[in-house]
Chains A and B, each alone.
Chain A
Amino acid sequence: MVVSKVLLKNFLCFYGENNIIEFRKGLNLILGGNGYGKTKLYDAFFWVFTDGITNQQGNFDFTKIIRDRLISQKALEESGQGKITCEVSIDLTKINLEYRIVRQYSITKNNESNIIPEHESFVKIFKKTETEFLPIDIPDEDSFKSYIQNNIIPFDKLDHIWFQGERGITKAVDTSNSKSLYKTIKNLSYIEHWEDYSRTAEEAFKRINRIYEKEIRGQKNKSKEKNLTLNRIKELEEERLNKKEQIGIINDEIELINVAKERINKNLKSHTRINEIKAKKDKIYEEYSKAKQELNISINESDRQLFNEFWLIHGTEYLTNKFSGLHKNYTYQKQDDLRAFNQDLPPIPFGNPKEMHIKKMLEDEYCHICNRPAAKGSEHYKNLERLLPKNYPRVEDLKETYLHEEVFENLAKNLIRIDTNKESFQDDLEKAQLRYYQLEERVKALNEQLKSVVEEEDYLLKNLGINSSEVIAVEIAKYDQYFKDSNQNAKKQAILEQDLEIIDAEYAKESEKLDKLLGDTIDPQTKKYKEYFDDLRSAVKYGKDKEYKRLVRMLEEQANRHYQNINKLSGAYEGTIRFEKVGEEGYSSKIYNSNNEDRTSNMNTSQVLSMQLSILMAILSTNEDRGLAKAYPLIADAPNSAFDYKKRAALLKEIAITFDQSIMMMFEYLVDDPSRLNRYRVDMEAIAELKRVFNSLGVGLNVIHLDIPDGVNVKNLGELSIQIKTVN
């Protein structure tokens, strides 16, 4: 069953004729503040199907009690004289058939103060043909209920699938009452068939037994002895049943101990596994750290090569070439200057006169080299003067005028040095990029590996309680105790079975005796049937017990899966849920910690609620084909009021995975709207995050915001109307 649309006309706070909410498969979130119509919407569903609305105490108030209060106060006040009708119409699909269920209730207004309410509401069912919805003939409320029960949804399932969180979900699942939990399990699971088999077999046996006994007691012959034997046989049957029960209890204990032993064994194996995982984790972590470090270096160095490897000079050749040209000209000019200097030098004098000789010749005004006079002021004298070192034009003097030679030389050399790299710049960049991406991938892959190892380690540590060697020692001690208990139980079992053998032997003897006393007087068919039905009821009881045990194990497993998923992010849970049999027809749910201690009474409200919801979801979904969770939508109003935001998101995720369709009314995911007075807006960031998670799960998310126009006082019912807004 999938709900596709609800239309509310003047129903409670939904004023007006056009309040339509469209639903989709997946999770439908209806967000609204207090007094914004969430619970009224929830009530609308129940009203259509049951003609009643749950009150604050969790009981039903029917239309004939509520009457005109069903109609929008605003509509009542605004309407003139005449008939005023409220209506809820639900469109749904069930196994490819489309239905529309419409319930209406009317009053007649004569004047302001005189209202004549009708005594009952009217309901119609329409079925869609190819073109239109055609009404189905349902003359009264009983035939409506019968149609719904047989074609749409059984009423005994409704309470468990549609519930109101603030009024307590005990109506949906009461984990504090063992009989109620047993009933819920029975009601919602396939085990119900086994109850029927058991009841039928027991009744069949009783019936044939009555005929059998009647036949015996009716015979006059040796009647006293026969009666005595029969009574003894009955006593023996009783004793045999008692023994079998005792053996059954011992067997249950043995099985429980075996389960516990199995768990401890698993824990001990897990301990070894944990050590292996820790070693693996350390190794991956080491590789991860190394890769991460390399990646960080790569990130830090990414653009540093612009400077370190001089990538920056790429494309500057036209200027460096120009500089090289200028520098070449500079060096050529120096060479030219030096050459010219050498050409301009005076003729080199013969020999190599020393300074003292030149001075002597100047004093003498006579050149001893040329052997001729050199009067002061004459050309010869001047030539001699030039030979003196201080006046001689030196090449060093010329060189010194090239002040910038060294600095330009350095600049030029530098150009050559860094220019040699430029061919490979782009290759180097590509290599650096490739290396970065490879490192990034490697870090990502190692991180994933690390996460999965940590998750596995976490799972073993948290869920199996293997967190220290001390715990292991306790587990081993427990195992030893269980071993001793098993031995004792085996002894007890042997004694009981011995007793049973004695009883069986006596029973056989007494039966033989009775057979002899009866001779051919009893109808052999009756006797045969009695034996058949006795065997049948034992077989069915055995089958039923076995199926219950199997179901309970499945329920435990499912409930724990939900419980962990809802709680693990907030880290506020411990232990595991266990179902314990209480008497013949009772189950209680408990939470046990890793030390096998019952922690149920120590749980806080949020933990209890998460346990209850987990059990409910488990009961609804534990079946080969996900049972009721697939067949019907979960409709819940404020199911998570005691949860923090992490737990809330986890719960929504869990519900969305478990149910094909769910409709959840809640206040969360709304925040104050600063632009309006006393109004809320949707926390789009949180919804976007939720959508992202749901997308990854492949589950649809449909968000509806219930709003109230500005200026309307929420508490003034006479002016209250609700605006339905789809959030994109």
Chain B
Amino acid sequence: MSIIVNKLKIKRPKFHRDYEYLFDKYSRKGGGNEEGRLDRAKVFAKNYELYIYAFFMGVRRKIRKPFNNRGSDISKQNVLTIEEWKPFELQRHLIACTIAEAGIPLREYDTMDEKKIDAKSTELRSIVEEYANGGFSIIHERFNEDKDFFTEMFAFSKFVFGD
């Protein structure tokens, strides 16, 4: 029998292509070295970091926006599978939040057969995507209010602690 967390970890969450520009602006896609990070605007070393940021912003503001992860609206840009996301502490925290949000008594996961585990892991991925989608929408809104906001020092941090 499979473990739900392991199943979730190998998922590759998606995002709406409307938010691709955020990745272009604030994330260095292929990771990169320290020198590259001198480019102030690119706060996020990898795409998944921006994704994690958006997820927690969604959770913090309790905005879980419905997201259909199929069709032409989906960005073709890649985010690595969850198991690659670092730091691992945040990866685990994200998984814990996702499982909590699903709200199923944990014992039930022990009794699920393989098919059910598969279906449940897909549901959990949707939760990740919906919170991230909510997060992206908040960032997008702030960006539209002030296009230079996120180029300021500590902008992304201040945005977390702001209301």
- A residues at B contact (CB < 8 Å): 296, 299-300, 302-303, 305-308, 310-316, 318-320, 322-323, 326-327, 329-330, 333, 401-404, 407-408, 410-412, 414-415, 417-418, 425-426, 429, 432-433, 436
B119 within 8 A of partner (CB): no
Whether the pair B87, A307 counts as a contact (CB closer than 8 A) is: yes
B10 within 8 A of partner (CB): no
Query: Closest 10 CB pairs between A and B?
Result: A315-B60, A323-B100, A322-B100, A330-B106, A414-B92, A319-B97, A411-B96, A303-B43, A323-B96, A312-B56
Given contacts A299-B38, A330-B105, contact A415 B158 (CB under 8 A): no
Cα separation A426 to B62 with both chains bound (whole Å): 20
Whether the pair A404, B3 counts as a contact (CB closer than 8 A) is: yes
- How many residues of B sit at the interface, in one of the four size bands? 35 or more
Say which residue of B38, B59, B103 sits within 8 Å of A296 (CB atoms).
Answer: B38
Q: Which residue of A lies closest to B111 (CB)?
A: A401
Contacts of A418 in B (CB 8 A): 89-90, 93
Given contacts A303-B43, A316-B59, A436-B153, contact A404 B109 (CB under 8 A): yes
Not counting A299-B38, A415-B93, A433-B154, a sample of 8 additional A-B residue pairs whose C-beta atoms are within 8 angstroms of each other reads A311-B160, A313-B56, A313-B90, A319-B59, A323-B99, A326-B105, A330-B105, A404-B3
Contacts of A314 in B (CB 8 A): 60, 160-161
* Residue of B56, B107, B158 with most partner-chain A CB within 10 A: B107
Cα separation A314 to B106 with both chains bound (whole Å): 25
Q: Which residue of B lies closest to A403 (CB)?
A: B110
Whether the pair B90, A401 counts as a contact (CB closer than 8 A) is: no
Say which residue of B5, B52, B154 sits within 8 Å of A411 (CB atoms).
Answer: B5
How near does chain A come to B56, taking the closest CB pair, in angstroms? 4
B19 within 8 A of partner (CB): no
Q: Considering the complex, which residues of chain B in the window 45-67 have a beta carbon less than 8 Å from any beta carbon of chain A?
A: 49, 52-53, 56, 59-62
Whether the pair B92, A303 counts as a contact (CB closer than 8 A) is: no
Contacts of A296 in B (CB 8 A): 38
Cα separation A410 to B9 with both chains bound (whole Å): 15
Contacts of B61 in A (CB 8 A): 315
B72 within 8 A of partner (CB): no
Whether the pair A313, B103 counts as a contact (CB closer than 8 A) is: no
Contacts of B158 in A (CB 8 A): 429
Whether the pair B99, A411 counts as a contact (CB closer than 8 A) is: yes
Whether the pair A316, B97 counts as a contact (CB closer than 8 A) is: yes
Contacts of B156 in A (CB 8 A): 303, 306
Given contacts A310-B89, A425-B161, contact A414 B154 (CB under 8 A): no
Cα separation A313 to B93 with both chains bound (whole Å): 8
Main secondary structure of the interface of B (DSSP, over half): helix
How near does chain A come to B154, taking the closest CB pair, in angstroms? 5
How near does chain B come to A424, taking the closest CB pair, in angstroms? 12
Cα separation A318 to B97 with both chains bound (whole Å): 9
Cα separation A309 to B56 with both chains bound (whole Å): 14
Whether the pair B161, A306 counts as a contact (CB closer than 8 A) is: no
B116 within 8 A of partner (CB): no
Say which residue of A305, A308, A320, A410 sits within 8 Å of B97 (CB atoms).
Answer: A320
How near does chain B come to A574, taking the closest CB pair, in angstroms? 39
Cα separation A180 to B93 with both chains bound (whole Å): 89
Contacts of A306 in B (CB 8 A): 53, 156-157, 160
Q: Which residue of B lies closest to A414 (CB)?
A: B92
How near does chain A come to B114, taking the closest CB pair, in angstroms? 12
Cα separation A85 to B86 with both chains bound (whole Å): 86
Whether the pair A436, B96 counts as a contact (CB closer than 8 A) is: no
Cα separation A308 to B52 with both chains bound (whole Å): 13
Contacts of B59 in A (CB 8 A): 315-316, 319
* Residue of A312, A329, A426 with most partner-chain B CB within 10 A: A312
Q: Considering the complex, which residues of chain B in the window 87-126 have a beta carbon less than 8 Å from any beta carbon of chain A?
A: 87, 89-90, 92-93, 95-97, 99-101, 103, 105-107, 109-111
